[in-house]
Amino acid sequence: MTIRRTRWSLVALGVSALLTGCSKDHPSGEAARVAPSAVGAAAAGQKRLMIAGGTATFLIDAPLEKIKGRSAKVRGSLDIDPNDLKASKGEIEFDLDDLRTETFADADKNKAQTDHAKNWLEIGPDVDAKQRDENRWARFTIKSIDETSVPKATPGVPATMRAAGDMWIHGVTSRKSVNVTVTFEGDPPAGAHVVTAEPLRISLKEHDVKPRDLAGKFLAGALEKIGQKIDDSVQISLDLMAK
């Protein structure tokens, strides 16, 4: 995600755009600035399924306001090993430029809040085109399946898995794990329906998502004025179809 002083609640929604006050230029600890990665070929024994549709929904459950939004543009792939689900991997991306907030009943308020969210994420209209493109896509790279309720893929039988990997947002990577429910179609799987059983939780501060103007310039003092209408934690839920 210029902010009007009369609409700090809209600014907060900018946060819901997803996602964090530390220095973006030199993040520390687990979070590290990285370039987007390309997906390699599926390993032997894996069946690659492409993300064919779905949604990423966002919630900031702040004390005074629940900020909600969604993106309906998703892409990526899942490399499923039908005989050993723990060997599966994947990469899921969602388009932050497609983010639309749904906090208010008033469409104009939602539009203003959506615009603020994109400013916070440095994908506003006056941000350098190259930087805007780099910030546009958020990516969860599944590096391991740490737990699974069933060892093999069985059509129509939901499998509960613990997926662990890297969440890349706004130039910063953070380690995440999440429980997902996967229902496979066909044998070997010709498709899969993937739903997060719990939200991925992202820190705005860790990912340097904070009040900015149209060109991405930090607005000092804005967070203090927003107060309890914003929270550092953004909850991201996924509902995806892969074919």
Separation of alpha carbons 47 and 219, rounded Å: 47
Element (H, E) at 119: helix 107-120
Indicate the number of domains in the chain.
1
Q: Is residue 58 part of a domain?
A: yes
pTM attached to this predicted model: 0.81
pLDDT string in tens for the chain (243-residue length): 433 333 333 333 343 333 333 333 334 333 444 445 556 788 888 999 999 999 999 999 988 789 999 999 999 999 999 999 999 999 999 999 999 999 999 999 999 999 999 999 999 999 999 999 999 999 999 999 999 999 999 999 999 999 999 999 999 999 999 999 999 999 889 999 999 999 999 999 999 999 999 888 878 777 666 765 688 999 999 999 999
Look up the CATH number of the domain holding residue 98: 2.40.128.110
Q: Is residue 2 part of a domain?
A: no
- Under 8 Å between Cβ of 148 and 88: no
The boundaries of the domain holding residue 145 are 8-35+46-242
Separation of alpha carbons 149 and 152, rounded Å: 9
